[in-house]
C-alpha cells in the first residue's frame, strides 16, 4: 500500500489492453504514479519478477500511462503531474526504429526509470491499484492476508503470496503456484504447477515447462525428472510417471520389458504402452527400423509396384478401409502385384513393373489367385523363365541312348537338364515320363543329381519351366513325385504321373 492506494502485482505478461482488462475484471485499474514514493513502490514490485521481457531485463511493469494524439493521460483519469528525471511528459514519445511501430505506452523499470514501449508489447508484469477508505488505509493485515476490494483483510488468493500489513497480493512467478491459502513468502510458499520444474538462478526463481521425456508433479521445488529407460512423453508438460510411454517407432513385447524398435516393414505412430507395431499395407515396406507413420511404408516389396497414393479415408468399392489402412491414414500409398510377364525386385518407388526379358515370362498371373506353398506368387526377375520355344537344347547320352534335353539356369546359378523324348508335336508333347529310380540313374550318369530345393526362387524356376514345357491346359499334367507335403522338407523331385 502507498498512501490511500494498494497495488496488486500480476506477473503475467500482457499488453496494455489485456492488462487494463484484467484489472477491470477485479474491480481495479492499471496503476498510476504521482510521486517519487509511488514510483519507488511500483519499481520494487517490478523487481520481484526480474525476467527479461518487453525489451528490458531485471523487471519491467506496464503502467496506466498512454500518449493520446498530443499528450499523456492516466487510465484512471488522474492528473499527469509527476515523472522521474529524464522522462519529458511534454514531448511525444521518440519514433520507433521500425516504421509503423509506435511507442505510446510506458513501463516502469526495477531501477525506477520509465521507458516508452509499444502498447502491443508484453512486459514482465503489471500492477492494478485500489483506492482505500481512510479506515482501511489505517488497517494492518497479518502475513498471508491482504486488504480486499471490500477494505477487509482476506486470505491471500491462490497462486499469490501476501506479506501482510497493507501490502497487496503478489503472484508467484511463472510456472509456480501456492498450496496454502495464507501464503506469506515466495521462498517458502511458491511451488511448482503440474508439469513444471523448479528453477532458481541468480536472476529469478520460476517454473519452466518440463520438456518431452521428462515430468514433475505439482507442489514441490524439484526439477523435471527423466522418464525411465527409453520411455518418453507425448508432449511437453507431463505431470507424472504414468505419462511416460513407448516412443513412436518402438514397442515393448508383451512378454518383455525392453523397448525395441519396430522392425522393417512395420511402424508405430502413437506414444504409450505399445506391445506391437503395425504392419505396412500389403505390398509395401519401410527402408529402416523404428518407422513412425504409415507414410514411411513407401517402398515396394518384391513382386509389387506402387499404384497410387492413398489420402485420408481411402476405401475400397464397399466403402471399407483398404487392408493396412484406417480412416485416418495420412498420405500413405497403394500397392498392387506385378501382372503376368512383368516383375519388380522391390525396395524401390517403382510405379510400374518391368517386362520380363524377351523369350521369358512369369509363371502365374497373380490375378488368377494361384498359390505356391500357401503364398501368393510375387513376381521377381528370377521368376521370368523361358517359354518353351526359346529354351536352348543340348544332346545328351546315358545308358547307350541319345536324346535331346532342354538346358536352363536358375537365379542361383544352378543348371538344370530337362529330358526330352519323342520330340515336339508328339501326343505326349515330348516330355519323357520316367520312374524315380530311372531318373536318379540318368542324373548320376550325367554327373549330376536330382534337384534339391533351397529357396522359393529355385522352386519357381523349376515349376515355371515345367509349365512352359507342359502347359497346364493339357490333360494329365504330370506332378512332382515328392508331392506338396514333401516340399516342406525341400526334397529333390522329378517328373512322373505318380503322386
Domain annotation covers residue 210? no
Domain annotation covers residue 234? no
Residue that wins the pLDDT comparison between 292 and 150: 292
The whole-number average pLDDT for the span 345-374 is 67
Looking at the structure, do residues 264 and 411 belong to the same domain, yes or no? no
Within 10 A of 259 (CB to CB), how many other CB atoms are there? 18
108 neighbors 136 (Cβ within 8 angstroms): no
Looking at the structure, do residues 317 and 412 belong to the same domain, yes or no? no
Within 10 A of 490 (CB to CB), how many other CB atoms are there? 15
Looking at the structure, do residues 336 and 435 belong to the same domain, yes or no? no
Domain annotation covers residue 251? yes
Looking at the structure, do residues 45 and 164 belong to the same domain, yes or no? yes
Last residue in a domain, options 167, 188, 209: 188
* Residue 92 DSSP class: P
H or E stretch at 5: strand 5-10
Looking at the structure, do residues 393 and 353 belong to the same domain, yes or no? no
Residue that wins the pLDDT comparison between 441 and 22: 22
CA torsion, ordered 490, 496, 498, 499, to nearest 10 deg = 30
Of the chain, the percentage scoring pLDDT greater than 70 comes to 71
CATH number for the domain spanning 11: value is 3.10.100.10
How many domains does the chain contain in total? 3
Domain annotation covers residue 487? yes
Looking at the structure, do residues 16 and 162 belong to the same domain, yes or no? yes
Looking at the structure, do residues 33 and 102 belong to the same domain, yes or no? yes
Q: Kindly give the pairing relationship between strand 214-215 and strand 332-337.
A: unpaired
Distances (CA, A) of 24 to 18, 21, 127, 130, 215: 10, 5, 12, 11, 36
Looking at the structure, do residues 122 and 271 belong to the same domain, yes or no? no
Last residue in a domain, options 188, 213, 232: 188
* Residue 382 DSSP class: G
Looking at the structure, do residues 265 and 178 belong to the same domain, yes or no? no
Domain annotation covers residue 71? yes
Phi and psi angles of residue 374, each rounded to the nearest 5 degrees, phi first: 70, 10
The whole-number average pLDDT for the span 130-155 is 76
Looking at the structure, do residues 412 and 348 belong to the same domain, yes or no? no
Distance CA(211)–CA(330), nearest Å, equals 27
Q: Mind listing the pLDDT tens digit for each residue in 400-422?
A: 777 677 777 765 667 777 765 43
Distance CA(8)–CA(42), nearest Å, equals 10
pLDDT at residue 252 is higher than 80: yes
Looking at the structure, do residues 287 and 427 belong to the same domain, yes or no? no
Residue that wins the pLDDT comparison between 364 and 184: 184
Domain annotation covers residue 372? no
Looking at the structure, do residues 432 and 470 belong to the same domain, yes or no? yes
The whole-number average pLDDT for the span 46-63 is 69
Identify the band that residue 49 occupies on the pLDDT scale cut at 50, 70 and 90: low
Distance CA(61)–CA(181), nearest Å, equals 26
pLDDT at residue 174 is higher than 80: yes
Domain annotation covers residue 221? no
Q: Mind listing the pLDDT tens digit for each residue in 275-316?
A: 889 999 888 889 999 998 888 888 888 888 887 765 544 333
pTM: 0.44
Q: Mind listing the pLDDT tens digit for each residue in 453-481?
A: 777 777 777 777 776 666 544 434 433 33
- Assign residue 293 a region: left if phi > 0, alpha if psi is -120 to 50, beta otherwise? beta
The x, y and z cell numbers of residue 60, run together, are 519491467
154-178 residues labelled b (16+ CB within 10 A) or e (exposed): ebbbeebbbbbebbbbbbbbbbbbb
192 neighbors 207 (Cβ within 8 angstroms): yes
What's residue 322's pLDDT? Answer: 38
Phi and psi angles of residue 245, each rounded to the nearest 5 degrees, phi first: -145, -175
Domain annotation covers residue 410? yes
200 neighbors 190 (Cβ within 8 angstroms): no
What's residue 475's pLDDT? Answer: 39
Task: Please give the residue range of the domain that contains residue 464.
Answer: 387-496
Identify the band that residue 336 occupies on the pLDDT scale cut at 50, 70 and 90: confident
202-237 residues labelled b (16+ CB within 10 A) or e (exposed): eebbbbbbbeebbbbeeeebebbbebeeebbbeeeb
H or E stretch at 393: strand 393-398
Residue that wins the pLDDT comparison between 65 and 4: 65
N-term to C-term CA, the chain: 105
Annotate 192-242 with DSSP letters as a single string: EPTTEEEEE-SS-EEEEEPPTTEE--SSS---PEEPSTT-B-SSS-B-SGG
Q: Mind listing the pLDDT tens digit for each residue in 86-136?
A: 999 998 888 765 555 678 899 999 889 999 998 988 888 899 987 766 666
Alpha helices in 26-109 (DSSP H): 36-46
Last residue in a domain, options 139, 157, 188: 188
H or E stretch at 407: strand 401-409
The x, y and z cell numbers of residue 139, run together, are 488497517
Amino acid at each position: 500500500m502507498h498512501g490511500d492506494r494498494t497495488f496488486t502485482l500480476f506477473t503475467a505478461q500482457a499488453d496494455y489492453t489485456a492488462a487494463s482488462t484484467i484489472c477491470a475484471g477485479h474491480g481495479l485499474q492499471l496503476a498510476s504514479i504521482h510521486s517519487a514514493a509511488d514510483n519507488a513502490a511500483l519499481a520494487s514490485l517490478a523487481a520481484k519478477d526480474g525476467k527479461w521481457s518487453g525489451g528490458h531485463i531485471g523487471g519491467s511493469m506496464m503502467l496506466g500511462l498512454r500518449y493520446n494524439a498530443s499528450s499523456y493521460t492516466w487510465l484512471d483519469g488522474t492528473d499527469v503531474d509527476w515523472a522521474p528525471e529524464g522522462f519529458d511528459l511534454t514531448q511525444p514519445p521518440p519514433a520507433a526504429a521500425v516504421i509503423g511501430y509506435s511507442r505510446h505506452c510506458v513501463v516502469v523499470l526495477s531501477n525506477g526509470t520509465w521507458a516508452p514501449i509499444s502498447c502491443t508489447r508484453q512486459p514482465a508484469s503489471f500492477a492494478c491499484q485500489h483506492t482505500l477508505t481512510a479506515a482501511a488505509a489505517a488497517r494492518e493485515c497479518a502475513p498471508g492476508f491482504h486488504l480486499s476490494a471490500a477494505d477487509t483483510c482476506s486470505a491471500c488468493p491462490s497462486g499469490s503470496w501476501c506479506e501482510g500489513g497493507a501490502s497487496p497480493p503478489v503472484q508467484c512467478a511463472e510456472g509456480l503456484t501456492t498450496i496454502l491459502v495464507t501464503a506469506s513468502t515466495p521462498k517458502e510458499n511458491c511451488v511448482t504447477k503440474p508439469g513444471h520444474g523448479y528453477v532458481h538462478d541468480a536472476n529469478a526463481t520460476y517454473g519452466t515447462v518440463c520438456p518431452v521425456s521428462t515430468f514433475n508433479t505439482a507442489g514441490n521445488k524439484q526439477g523435471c525428472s527423466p522418464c525411465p529407460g527409453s520411455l518418453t512423453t507425448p508432449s511437453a508438460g507431463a505431470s507424472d510417471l504414468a505419462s511416460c510411454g513407448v516412443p513412436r517407432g518402438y514397442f515393448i513385447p508383451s512378454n518383455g520389458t525392453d523397448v525395441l524398435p519396430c522392425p522393417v516393414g512395420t511402424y508405430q505412430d502413437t506414444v504409450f504402452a505399445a506391445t506391437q507395431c503395425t504392419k505396412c499395407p500389403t505390398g509395401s515396406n519401410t527402408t529402416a527400423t523404428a518407422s513412425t507413420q504409415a507414410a514411411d511404408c513407401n517402398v515396394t516389396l518384391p513382386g509389387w509396384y506402387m499404384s497410387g497414393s492413398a489420402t485420408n479415408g481411402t476405401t475400397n468399392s464397399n466403402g471399407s478401409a483398404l487392408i493396412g489402412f484406417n480412416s485416418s491414414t495420412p498420405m500413405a500409398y497403394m500397392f498392387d502385384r506385378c501382372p503376368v510377364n512383368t516383375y519388380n525386385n522391390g525396395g524401390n518407388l517403382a510405379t510400374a513393373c518391368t517386362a520380363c526379358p524377351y523369350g521369358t515370362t512369369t509363371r502365374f498371373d497373380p490375378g488368377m489367385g494361384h498359390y505356391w506353398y500357401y503364398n501368393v506368387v510375387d513376381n521377381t526377375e528370377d521368376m521370368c523363365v523361358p517359354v518353351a520355344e526359346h529354351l536352348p537344347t543340348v544332346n545328351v547320352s546315358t545308358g547307350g541312348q541319345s536324346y535331346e534335353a532342354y538346358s536352363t539356369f536358375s537365379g542361383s546359378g544352378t543348371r538344370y537338364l530337362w529330358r526330352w523324348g519323342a520330340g515336339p508335336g508328339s501326343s505326349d508333347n515330348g516330355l519323357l515320363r520316367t520312374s524315380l529310380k530311372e531318373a536318379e540313374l540318368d542324373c548320376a550318369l550325367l554327373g549330376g543329381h536330382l534337384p534339391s530345393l533351397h529357396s522359393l526362387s529355385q522352386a519357381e524356376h523349376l515349376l515355371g519351366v515345367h509349365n512352359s514345357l507342359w502347359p497346364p491346359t493339357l490333360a494329365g499334367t504330370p506332378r512332382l513325385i515328392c508331392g506338396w507335403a514333401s516340399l516342406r522338407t525341400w526334397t529333390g523331385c522329378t517328373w512322373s504321373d505318380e503322386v
